[in-house]
Amino acid sequence: MFYAILRRFGQMLFVMFGISVIVFLIFFATPGADPAARIAGRNASPEVLAAVRHSFGFDQPLYVQYTRMMEKIFVTGDLTSFVNRGWKVVPAVMDSIPVTLSLVFGAAVLWVVVSIIIGIVAAAIRDSWLDKLLMALGLLGISMPVYWLGEVMNLITQSRYHDSWAFSWVPPLGYKNFSDDPKGWFLTLVIPWITLAILYIGIYGRVLRAAIIESMQEDYIRTARAKGLSETRILFRHALRTSLIAFVTLFGLDFGALVGGSALLTEVVFGLHGIGKLTYDALQNLDLPMIMATVMYASMFVVIANAVVDFVYILLDPRLRAS
Amino acid sequence: MILSVRDLKVSFRTHDGPVRAIDGVSFDLEESEILGVVGESGSGKTVSLLAVMGLITDPNATIEGSIRYKGRELVGLPPRELRRLRGNEIAMIFQDPMTALTPVYTIGWQIAEQIRAHRGVSKSKAMERVEQLLAEVNFPNPHEAMSRYPHQLSGGMRQRAVIAMALSCDPALLVADEPTTALDVTVQAGILDLVRKLRAKHKSAVVFITHDMGVVSELADRVMVMYAGRVVERGTRTEMFSDPRHPYTRALLGSIPPLTGEKPRRLLAIPGSPPSLLRLPQGCAFGPRCPVRYEPCEAGKPGLGASAHAAACFRVA
């Protein structure tokens, strides 16, 4: 067991190393991607270009440049932005992490709980009108783009109906630190949570319903009925557990990606300066150190999320324990 | 009398029209008797027994007729009442032990679950009983086997676990749906031995579904042969093997290779294939494949008659 965890950890490090090398090569070594040219600006004279190249260390061999950058990210933590030379990259990422984590964690709790309830209820009463209604609502949730839904939410809660009793509690857009103001933290995030969760509730509810219905066709469900168990017990004890495997797989992928920056649209719509926003700005400006740092951070979360998913698999399905 | 089935009819609504899977099946089962039910795939043997178990959950199915268990009518019994019988007084062993057990729970947990569903005993009491049961079905190390997951056991061992589960509440009626079909021949013999031994010990009546005449000849007291949803012949095992009357039964017996004596040049196969239940022939369902058919066979369906050894055939009647 200990050995397996250690090996898994080694794999994670290896994947992150691979990602960092690839990203580095894309931005520093592909033909035409001369970072010095970007920094020096258009029409820079060859002398200026050479000076920039030297002062940023671009005249060093690639492996030296790579090691130095990694050292500055992980060891000394003093990597600075190319665009704004005084701006330290690592603290900027660290400042954005709590914003994104707050957003994604809250939304994840919401969508997991609600979609499990919806999936189970819909599967238990499949083909009834309520099942059809729930699935139609789910489809509606999937179909609404988050930037549109977010703007509609803002329109309703920030301006149109802000003065009504229903939404007068909604604070202005922005993020409040949990440690400074827990209540403000919660209130500012409620609408973003709901907005982000709606899409995933639709997907997860439908996936879980389908998985449960599929499990209910299995031979062992017939055995469970032959044992004289109640339908409720059969659903919760025998069908649900195997159905959760598909659910967990999806969750690992989505959660890792969201924490890694895919919540960008939600962050922008609600004025939250999270990792998504940071990555987006870095890419806009081709700010290579910042891109490198955010990508390393994102890949770390994706890799961790995958490891957690594998662990949950093993909890859910004993058939995976031996290997 | 443990079980008395009268004129059981099961039909399914399908896109291609109604299908009558069971068309007027009647049979009786005495205490601690083994009834062998024989027939090809699609002859209705499994469906009729699922009906007895109340396990036909398809909303497109209709069940008519009467199924009496110890005098109590099961057709139309509310699900809650039926559930109290299932697994408790009427237990079932399934065809494929590979898929019949929930993959994510241990053998011991799954058997204990059934015991606790019907008997108000503590978990540890139930587990004690599980260990006993596993020993009874010849697990070499019952205590250790309890904590095994299904995938950690061989097919034969899984089937033993399923049998232990079926016996856990001392059922008066045991329904076995081709329990040996998915197993190796050597394992089959062990399972048959076990069923015989357990019948003697628990005094359960057994309905044993199979398409293997060899299994029937080893195990059954009485035999019922089914074809296209109807019983075509019934009788005791001896009657069936020494004096088969229905041409279908004879054909089935003719298709078994003899183990001793001169080998036949060719095994006798039954020409054609079973009819689609959607398009049954007008008269006798076996008619088109029957070597001895004559005019009456196309006009009407032959009845089974009331005698103990009876065949639904105009040639016999």
The tens digit of pLDDT for each residue in B154-167 reads: 888 888 888 889 88
Q: B148-157, B253-262, B284-293: which has the minimum mean pLDDT?
A: B253-262
Q: Which two tokens stand for residue B31?
A: 């205490």
Average pLDDT for B245-253 = 80
Backbone angles phi, psi at B24, to 5 degrees: 80, 60
Q: B91-95, B113-117, B313-317: which has the minimum mean pLDDT?
A: B313-317
Average pLDDT for B51-78 = 85
Q: What's the pLDDT band for B46 if we cut at 50, 70, 90?
A: confident
Res A8: pLDDT: 83
Average pLDDT for B200-213 = 84
Q: How far apart are CA B94 and CA A219, in angstroms?
A: 9
What residues of chain A lie within 8 A of the CB of B55, using their CB? 222, 225-226
What residues of chain A lie within 8 A of the CB of B114, using their CB? 227-229
Q: Is B119 on the interface with A (CB under 8 A)?
A: no
Chain A positions contacting chain B at CB under 8 Å are 218-220, 222-230, 233, 237-238, 241-242, 316-319
Shortest distance, CA A308 to any CA of chain B (angstroms): 19
Point out the residue among B83, B87, B96 whose CB comes nearest to the CB of A219.
B96
Q: What's the pLDDT band for B93 if we cut at 50, 70, 90?
A: confident
Handedness of CA B108, B114, B119, B120 (dihedral sign): positive
CA A284 distance to own-chain centroid: 20
Q: What is the ipTM of this complex?
A: 0.85
Shortest distance, CA A249 to any CA of chain B (angstroms): 17
Residues with Cβ within 8 Å of residue B296, at least 6 apart in sequence = B283, B302, B314
Res B263: pLDDT: 66
Residue of A nearest to B99 (CA): A219
Strands B310-311 and B222-227: unpaired
Shortest distance, CA A233 to any CA of chain B (angstroms): 10
Q: How far apart are CA A301 and CA A304, in angstroms?
A: 5
Res B259: pLDDT: 64
Task: Please indicate whether, in this complex, the C-beta atoms of B151 and A318 are within 8 angstroms of each other.
Answer: yes
Point out the residue among A223, A242, A318 whose CB comes nearest to the CB of B100.
A223
Task: Please indicate whether, in this complex, the C-beta atoms of B104 and A318 are within 8 angstroms of each other.
Answer: yes
What residues of chain A lie within 8 A of the CB of B91, using their CB? 226
Q: Which two tokens stand for residue B156?
A: 């034969």
Task: Please indicate whether, in this complex, the C-beta atoms of B92 and A318 are within 8 angstroms of each other.
Answer: no
Shortest distance, CA A237 to any CA of chain B (angstroms): 10
Q: Where are the domains of chain A?
A: 2-76, 96-320
Point out the residue among A226, A229, A319 whose CB comes nearest to the CB of B92.
A226
Residue B210 carries which DSSP code? Answer: E
What percent of chain B stands above pLDDT 70? 95
Residue A88 carries which DSSP code? Answer: B
When mean pLDDT is compared over A202-211, B2-11, B42-51, B291-300, the highest value belongs to A202-211
Residue of A nearest to B58 (CA): A217
Q: Is B9 on the interface with A (CB under 8 A)?
A: no
Task: Please indicate whether, in this complex, the C-beta atoms of B88 and A222 are within 8 angstroms of each other.
Answer: no
Res A322: pLDDT: 64
Res B214: pLDDT: 80
Point out the residue among A218, A228, A318 whose CB comes nearest to the CB of B87.
A228
Residue environment code for A63-100, b if the CB has 16+ CB neighbours within 10 A, otherwise e: eebbeebbebbeeeeebebbbeeeebbbebbeebeebb
Shortest distance, CA B6 to any CA of chain A (angstroms): 22
Shortest distance, CA A2 to any CA of chain B (angstroms): 22
Place of tokens 């000849």: B217
Res B264: pLDDT: 63
The closest alpha carbon to B198, from B167, B162, B157, B156, belongs to B167
What residues of chain A lie within 8 A of the CB of B149, using their CB? 318-319
What residues of chain B lie within 8 A of the CB of A316, using their CB? 104
Q: How far apart are CA B26 and CA B233, in angstroms?
A: 11
Please give chain A's pLDDT, 323 residues, in tens: 778 778 888 888 898 899 889 888 887 777 766 777 777 777 778 888 888 888 777 778 888 888 888 888 888 888 888 777 778 888 888 888 888 988 999 999 999 999 999 999 998 888 888 889 989 898 888 888 888 988 888 888 887 777 787 777 777 787 888 788 888 888 888 889 999 999 899 999 999 999 999 998 888 998 999 898 888 899 998 999 888 888 888 898 888 888 887 788 888 888 888 888 888 888 888 788 888 888 888 888 888 888 888 888 888 888 877 65
Point out the residue among B57, B100, B104 whose CB comes nearest to the CB of A242.
B104
Res B98: pLDDT: 81
Residue of A nearest to B116 (CA): A229
Query: pLDDT at residue B36 above 80?
Result: yes
Reported pTM: 0.81
The contacts found for B246-251 with CB under 8 angstroms, 24 or more apart, are B246/B286, B246/B311, B246/B312, B246/B313, B246/B316, B247/B286, B247/B290, B247/B291, B247/B292, B247/B313, B247/B315, B248/B286, B248/B290, B249/B225, B249/B311, B251/B291
Pick the CATH number of A96-320 from 3.90.1150.10, 1.10.3720.10, 1.20.1250.20, 3.40.50.12710: 1.10.3720.10
Shortest distance, CA A218 to any CA of chain B (angstroms): 8
Task: Please indicate whether, in this complex, the C-beta atoms of B87 and A219 are within 8 angstroms of each other.
Answer: no
Using alpha carbons only, what angle is made at residue B195 by residues B189 and B200, rounded to the nearest 5 degrees? 130
Shortest distance, CA A240 to any CA of chain B (angstroms): 11
Backbone angles phi, psi at A219, to 5 degrees: -60, -35
What percent of chain B stands above pLDDT 90? 1
